[in-house]
Amino acid sequence: MENLIKPVQDETTTIKTFIKNLGVDLVGVTRLEPYKEMIMGINTDRDEFFQRYQNAIVLGCHLKDKPAIEMNLFMERAAFEVMTYLEDKGKNVLIIHPEDEYDPVKRLGLISLKALARGAGLGWQGRSLLIISPQIGPIYRCIGLLTDMELTPDESMPNHCGDCTQCIDKCPHHALKYVRFEDHPASREDVLDVRACRGDKGCNVCLAVCPWIKNLN
């Protein structure tokens, strides 16, 4: 039994080390099976899709003392490096980019990166809807890669927001609403007024006020 499991664990360790050596702060793995019924931003043949990709690798980074565009380019380059690594091994790969909007009205990507990040154990989903990592605080940027490479999944973690409501109280556009949830809210709209939020215009207040934020620059 041990011999059957070990190669998968070794491959997982190797790819995680490769990603960390690129300078990425966090990396985790989740199986895609639990997301089969999830709302997706595009109508697709789900059976075919989930046969083609069985795992997601999720990369996350801290907000560094660098322009956002530089951080975004850094994460894109890292994802392309990982894609090349996997393709060189003959694997199927699809990058899940945070700015891909397949449904621009509902602002939905192909598959929720935050759900993947939660599943991959990068952190819990805070009241700001950001993923909060105990190591680095709110994750500034996630990018995902779906693949058929066999990998060992990470474990998700419980919510540690406790009684804190800083992100809601300090949001300058009153875009966040207090909703009790443990793993994730029933819907994003229950918590976030997408039209009021200025996250796409560079607002980072909910990230900056989170007590879990760490200065890692």
Binding region for ligand SF4 (CB under 6 A): 126-128, 132, 161, 164-167, 171, 173, 175-176, 197-199, 203, 205-206, 209-212
Q: Supply the minimum distance, in Å, between the C-beta of residue 180 and ligand SF4.
A: 12
DSSP 30-58: EESGGGTTS--SS---HHHHHHH--EEEE
Q: Supply the minimum distance, in Å, between the C-beta of residue 124 and ligand SF4.
A: 8
Q: Is 58 or 206 the residue whose CB approaches ligand SF4 more closely?
A: 206
Q: Is 104 or 162 the residue whose CB approaches ligand SF4 more closely?
A: 162
Q: Is 27 or 191 the residue whose CB approaches ligand SF4 more closely?
A: 191
Q: Is 95 or 209 the residue whose CB approaches ligand SF4 more closely?
A: 209
From 101, 118, 119, 120, select the one nearest 110 (Cα to Cα). 101
Q: Is 95 or 203 the residue whose CB approaches ligand SF4 more closely?
A: 203
Which residue has its beta carbon closest to ligand SF4? 126
Q: Supply the minimum distance, in Å, between the C-beta of residue 162 and ligand SF4.
A: 7
Q: Supply the minimum distance, in Å, between the C-beta of residue 30 and ligand SF4.
A: 21
Q: Supply the minimum distance, in Å, between the C-beta of residue 189 and ligand SF4.
A: 13
Contacts of 87 (CB under 8 A, 6+ apart): 93
Q: Supply the minimum distance, in Å, between the C-beta of residue 15 and ligand SF4.
A: 29
DSSP the chain: -HHHHHHHHHHHHHHHHHHHHTT-SEEEEEESGGGTTS--SS---HHHHHHH--EEEEEEE---SS-HHHHHHHHHHHHHHHHHHHHHTT--EEEE-TT--SBTTTTB-SS-HHHHHHHTTS-EE-TTS-EEETTTEE-SEEEEEEE-S--PPPPP-----TT--HHHHH-TT--B-----SS--S-HHHHB-TTT--GGGT--HHHHT-TT-----
Q: Is 54 or 72 the residue whose CB approaches ligand SF4 more closely?
A: 72
